[in-house]
Every structure is written in structure tokens, then in C-alpha cells.
């Protein structure tokens, strides 16, 4: 199955380079290029890409607002957004994750990593390695958070689901959660799926954001 990609960057040279790299892959196809956030929103609606590779700092509408508008369709029907950034802990990254981005990749990393990132996001997984997740957690731990009761849907989770959510928020993979809780991997996957559904989250990235901003998890 071919993954349709929309490339968004205000630098024409980078757009061309990214497009060439992506088009060289048999399972990836660029359906459009956008030079700013406004174009990104328009093209995403018209071209229906699976993944939007989104720059953050652009004139006019930036990548954060564009991401918010593109993912506004909710858990289904909207493209997944992969944020490209120059700095791996750029403040904009956190805002973009809140806006609905599924993860981020560094422009400075090897080409294979960028291509792999597109595939991971297209598959519905969050692109946050445990080390990055823990640094994301560190960031949230120093910010004001809404009280847990501020999200009524948290109360929809069972005790076990809360436990699984806490481990997801700590950056553990499904396999690690399985080992930690001494339950089968299919059971963990079922719990994660139910948590995503109950909280209206698109992927694990948003679960991390929800867990820390809600106050459900407060320590690293």
C-alpha cells in the first residue's frame, strides 16, 4: 500500500529535496507541496494525504496552527502530521503535539530516519522514542497542568487502564508494559486501544500529553 505524503516547508530547496527523497521510495508518494501553513491546510483538505510532513517556523500561518486545523477532524478522517524541526526540544514541538501532531523528526538526522518516521506515523504509531518521551515528560513536569478532574473522560478508564496509561506516559513500549504488568502483549494492545478510544486520542503521543496535562501522572 502506498502512503500519500504532503510536504510542507517555506524553503523551496528543502521541499524539493524532501520530495525527491520520498518519491524514490516505492511505498511512498508525494501528492503535493505547500510553502506555508495556509497552503498546507488547503492542500490537506483537497489532496487527502495520509501523512503531512510539516515544518514549524513559516511566515503567515505557522505549522502549529496548520496542524491544529488539519487534525481537527478528530481521531478518524484526518491526515497524521509529522513535525520537522531543527532543534530536538524546540518549544514549538510541544505546542505542535498538543495541536494533534503524531510525532516529530529532526531535519539534521539521516535520510533513512526521516523516511522511517513517515512510515511509523502512517502506521498509526507515535514517533517518540522512550528517551524523547522522557524528556517530553520532563518538560511537562515543569509546566502548569490542569487538575485531573478537568478531563472527565479520565474517569472512564478502569484502574488497569489508568495503570497502562501511566506506563505509556513514562515512555514504555507495549512489550515493556507487558513485562512490567506480567500480562500478555495482546492484552496490553487491547488496553491501549481502549484508552485511545475512551480519551479520543489519535496515538500514544497524545496519550502522553493527556496524562501529564491532566495531572494523572506528575513524576518522571
- Taking only the tens place, the pLDDT of each residue in 23-76 is 999 999 999 999 999 999 999 999 999 999 999 889 899 999 999 999 886 555
- Domain span at residue 182 reads 138-213
Statement to judge: residues 150 and 107 lie in one domain: no
pLDDT at 149: 46
Q: Which of 126, 147, 172 is the last residue in one of the domains?
A: 126
The CATH code of the domain that includes 84 is 3.40.50.2300
Which of the listed residues 126, 161, 194 is the one where a domain comes to its end?
Answer: 126
Q: Looking at the 3D structure of the chain, how many domains does it have?
A: 2
Does 110 lie in the same domain as 61?
A: yes
> What pLDDT is stored for residue 148 in this prediction?
43
What's the pTM value of the predicted model, to 2 decimals? 0.71
Measured between alpha carbons, how far is 109 from 2 in angstroms, rounded to an integer? 24
C-alpha 43 chain-centroid distance:
20
- Picking from 126, 149, 176, the residue at the C-terminal end of a domain is 126
Grid coordinates representing 54? 510539516
Quick one: pLDDT at residue 169?
81
Cβ(83)–Cβ(91) below 8 Å:
no
Same domain, yes or no: 39 and 92? yes
User: What is the rounded average pLDDT of the residues 1-10?
Assistant: 94
pLDDT interval class at 209 (50, 70, 90): confident
119 and 188, same structural domain? Answer: no
The answer as to whether 131 is a domain residue is no
In the predicted model, what is the mean pLDDT of residues 92-108? 78
Is 182 in the same domain as 111?
Answer: no
Rounded to 10 degrees, what is the CA torsion of 157, 134, 104, 173? -60
Residue 85 lies in a domain: yes
Does 167 fall in a domain?
yes
Whether residue 7 is found in the same domain as residue 109? yes
Closest CA relative to residue 169, chosen from 201, 122, 125, 216: 216
Q: Strand, helix or coil at 51?
A: strand
- Say if 133 falls within a structural domain: no
- Domain membership flag for residue 219: no
Amino acid at each position: 500500500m502506498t502512503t500519500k505524503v504532503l510536504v510542507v516547508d517555506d524553503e523551496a530547496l528543502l521541499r524539493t529535496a524532501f520530495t525527491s527523497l520520498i518519491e524514490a521510495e516505492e511505498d511512498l508518494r508525494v501528492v503535493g507541496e505547500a510553502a506555508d501553513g495556509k497552503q498546507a491546510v488547503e492542500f490537506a483538505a483537497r489532496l487527502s494525504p495520509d501523512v503531512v510532513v510539516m515544518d514549524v517556523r513559516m511566515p503567515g500561518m505557522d505549522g502549529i496552527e496548520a496542524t491544529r486545523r488539519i487534525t481537527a477532524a478528530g481521531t478518524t478522517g484526518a491526515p497524521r502530521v509529522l513535525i520537522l524541526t531543527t532543534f530536538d526540544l524546540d518549544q514549538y514541538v510541544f505546542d505542535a503535539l498538543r495541536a494533534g501532531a503524531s510525532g516529530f523528526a529532526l531535519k539534521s538526522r539521516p535520510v533513512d530516519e526521516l523516511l522511517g518516521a513517515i512510515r511509523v506515523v502512517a502506521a498509526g504509531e507515535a514517533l517518540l522514542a522512550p528517551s524523547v518521551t522522557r524528556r517530553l515528560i520532563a518538560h511537562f513536569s515543569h509546566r502548569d497542568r490542569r487538575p485531573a478532574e478537568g478531563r472527565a473522560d479520565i474517569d472512564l478508564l478502569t484502574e488497569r487502564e489508568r495503570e497502562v496509561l501511566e506506563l505509556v506516559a513514562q515512555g514504555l513500549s507495549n512489550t515493556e508494559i507487558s513485562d512490567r504488568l506480567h500480562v500478555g502483549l495482546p492484552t496490553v494492545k487491547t488496553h491501549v486501544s481502549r484508552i485511545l478510544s475512551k480519551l479520543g486520542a489519535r496515538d500514544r503521543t497524545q496519550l502522553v500529553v493527556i496524562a501529564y496535562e491532566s495531572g494523572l501522572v506528575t513524576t518522571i
